Amino acid sequence: MSEILDPIMSNPAVTLARELCLLFLVIFTVALVFWTFRDARRRGAMSGFWAFVVLLFNVAGWAIYMVVRPPEIEQDARERDLEVRAYQAQMRQAPACPACHTPIESDFEICPVCMKQLRRPCTSCGRPLKLDWGVCPYCRTKQ
C-alpha cells in the first residue's frame, strides 16, 4: 500500500496542501482559544479554564462552552440594572393616576384616560386642591 501512496504523498502539491491545512488548524485553534478567553472574561466566566478546555478539546470544548456560558455580558447586565433603577426612580417622582396608573401632571383635576377626579378647584382662587383638603393653602379659603 505504501508503494501506491508514496508517489502521491511526495508530490509537492500534496505536501503544500498538507502543510497549509496544518497551519490553518493551528491558526484556527489559537483564534478559537483567544476568542473563548475574551468572551468568557467579558461574561464573568472562568476565562482561563475555558481557554484551556478549548485548547485541549478544540471545537468540542468550544461547543461545550457555548452551551454553558453565561447568557449575557456583565456590562450589559449592569447597564440593564441601571436602566431599571433609573426608570423606577422616575416612576416614583412622576405622579400617576391612582385608578389606571397613567402618568399625569401634578395640577390635573381629572385623569384624561379614565376620567377619575383627582383634584377639585378652590371655590375662591380656582387653584387645584387635593380632594381631602378642607382649606385652600393658597388663599386660606375654607372649602
Quote the number of domains for the chain: 2
The whole-number average pLDDT for the span 52-64 is 97
Is the domain of 110 the same as that of 61?
no
CA distance linking residue 100 with residue 50, whole number of Å: 50
pLDDT per residue over 93-107, tens digit each?
A: 778 888 898 888 878
Q: What percent of the chain has pLDDT over 90?
A: 59
**Residue 26 included in any domain:** yes
Torsion of CA 97, 99, 101, 102, to 10 degrees: -60
- Cα–Cα distances (Å) from 123 to 2, 128, 138, 142, in that order, read 110, 10, 12, 9
**Residue 52 included in any domain:** yes
Mean pLDDT of the chain, nearest integer: 91
Is the pLDDT confidence value at 125 over 80?
yes
**Residue 84 included in any domain:** no
**Residue 81 included in any domain:** no
Of the three residues 19, 45, 74, the one that is the final residue of a domain is 74
Is the domain of 16 the same as that of 70?
yes
The answer to pTM > 0.85 is: no
Q: How many CA atoms lie within 13 A of 105 on its CB side?
A: 6
CA distance linking residue 118 with residue 128, whole number of Å: 9
Of the three residues 74, 107, 134, the one that is the final residue of a domain is 74
The per-residue pLDDT for 98 is 86
Q: What range does the domain containing 14 cover?
A: 2-74
